[in-house]
Amino acid sequence: MIAQNSSVERNRRLGIFAKKLPGMLLTVFRFVVLFGLIFMIIYPFIFMFVTAFRSEVDLNDPSVVWITRHYTLDNFKRFLGMVNFPDMMIFTMVISLSCAVLQTFVCALAGYAFARFKFRGRNFLFVLLLFTIIVPEQTFIMQLFLKFRFFSPPGISLLFKLFTGKSSLNLLNTPFPFIIQSMFGMGIRSGLFIYIFRQFFRSLPSELENAACIDGSNALHTYFTVMVPNAIPAFVTVSMLSFVWNWNDYLSQSFLNMSRHSVATFLYSIHGTISVATQNMEDPTVMYILIQSGTLLCIAPLIFVFLFGQRYFTESVERTGIVG
């Protein structure tokens, strides 16, 4: 009797255990995978932070792996002495900020048009929009290069002739090519931004506009006073992405700014630049430290954007949905 009872009890416990087992396994699996993943993502940054402030004394000390004994800013000072950093930073900042503002503004307008107006040729234009996402810049970057090397838009080129005596301007190595392209909705990944805005505006209720229309507001007025305040999350997401992608954009900057470094083109050649600046005489580990501190300075604005905006950003990408 007693023996039977205990076996029943054991079976019951086994049953509970069998039910709980998959959940526990999942938890363990999730922990292992996510921990590994996060380690891979965050490791380089921790490493960068740690090394950038390390003084040369600690370099050959085997007991120093993660926690530095002698903190110093010398690496940054040396780096700033080697490179014309302020010029590069201001140049990139001007490009990224102005492009972010202009791109957000123009892409929002276009996205609203695609979302809420049924004008003739809309579907055709939308297919063209998708093409701008798919066709890579390499195919016509030469033409863009030539366009901005000999910049003479119809109608305005006469003015150039009056003032400078030449019929075209050389806009290379200035922020203007990027600003002009963003102004007309053709900056980096503009197609994607227009798509995001279209999806977002479609998700807003159309009663908003109908009410404004009945109150006698025209389309432009409605857009700026009713729709824009309701679409703040999309605006924040797009402007952040635009800033970041312009900052990191290597391809078009390497073509349009051949003789002037922006942050992205500089990072690409950071190793060479620093070894030239130290005349290759430096210990490789010291060079690596210099590279670390330089990179940290170059991506500091991105890290700020991430820290301030990540919550807003993840949520709105998930909620507004880049896709529909």
State which of positions 217-276 bind another protein (CB under 8 A).
218-220, 223, 240-241, 244, 248-251, 254-255, 264, 267-268, 270-271
Q: Is 15 in the site for another protein (CB under 8 A)?
A: no
Which tokens belong to 31?
């922990």
- Give the C-alpha separation, 165 to 231, whole Å: 47
Binding-site member from 37, 73, 90, 276 for another protein (CB under 8 A): 37
Name the 3-class secondary structure at 71: strand
- Give the C-alpha separation, 321 to 197, whole Å: 10
| 78 vs 177 by CB, closer to another protein | 177
| 1 vs 40 by CB, closer to another protein | 40
170-189 positions binding another protein, by CB under 8 A? 181, 183-186
Minimum distance, C-beta of residue 63 to another protein, in the bound complex (Å) = 11
Residue 237 contacts residue 317 (beta carbons within 8 Å): yes
| 7 vs 321 by CB, closer to another protein | 321
Minimum distance, C-beta of residue 122 to another protein, in the bound complex (Å) = 7
H or E element at residue 209: helix 207-214
The DSSP string of 260-315 is S--HHHHHHTHHHHHHHHTTT-S-HHHHHHHHHHHHHHHHHHHHHHHHHHHHHHHH
> Which among 1-9, 21-29, 77-85, 92-100 is the span making contact with another protein, rule CB under 8 A?
21-29
Minimum distance, C-beta of residue 262 to another protein, in the bound complex (Å) = 11
Q: Among 174, 157, 181, which Cα is nearest to 242's?
A: 181
Which tokens belong to 166?
């030449």
Q: What angle do CA 151, 153, 154 make, to 5 degrees?
A: 145
Q: Is 126 in the site for another protein (CB under 8 A)?
A: no
Minimum distance, C-beta of residue 212 to another protein, in the bound complex (Å) = 11
CA atoms within a 13 Å half-sphere pointing along the CA-CB vector of 174: 12
Q: Is 291 in the site for another protein (CB under 8 A)?
A: yes
The answer for residues whose C-beta is within 8 angstroms of residue 169's C-beta and 6 or more apart is: 150, 151, 152, 160
| 78 vs 190 by CB, closer to another protein | 190
| 78 vs 185 by CB, closer to another protein | 185
141-170 positions binding another protein, by CB under 8 A? 141-144, 146-147, 150, 153, 167-168
Q: Is 128 in the site for another protein (CB under 8 A)?
A: yes
Q: Is 205 in the site for another protein (CB under 8 A)?
A: no
Number of residues that bind another protein (CB under 8 A): 98
Binding-site member from 95, 99, 113, 231 for another protein (CB under 8 A): 113
Residue 262 contacts residue 92 (beta carbons within 8 Å): yes
Sign of the CA dihedral running 140, 272, 262, 313: positive
Q: Is 17 in the site for another protein (CB under 8 A)?
A: no
Tell me, residue by residue from 38 to 77, as one string, x for binding to another protein by CB under 8 A and - for no binding: xxxxxxxx-xx----------------x------------
C-beta atoms surrounding 194 within 10 Å: 27
| 3 vs 66 by CB, closer to another protein | 66
91-110 positions binding another protein, by CB under 8 A? 106-107, 109-110
Minimum distance, C-beta of residue 20 to another protein, in the bound complex (Å) = 14
37, 42, 46, 48: CA torsion to nearest 10: 110
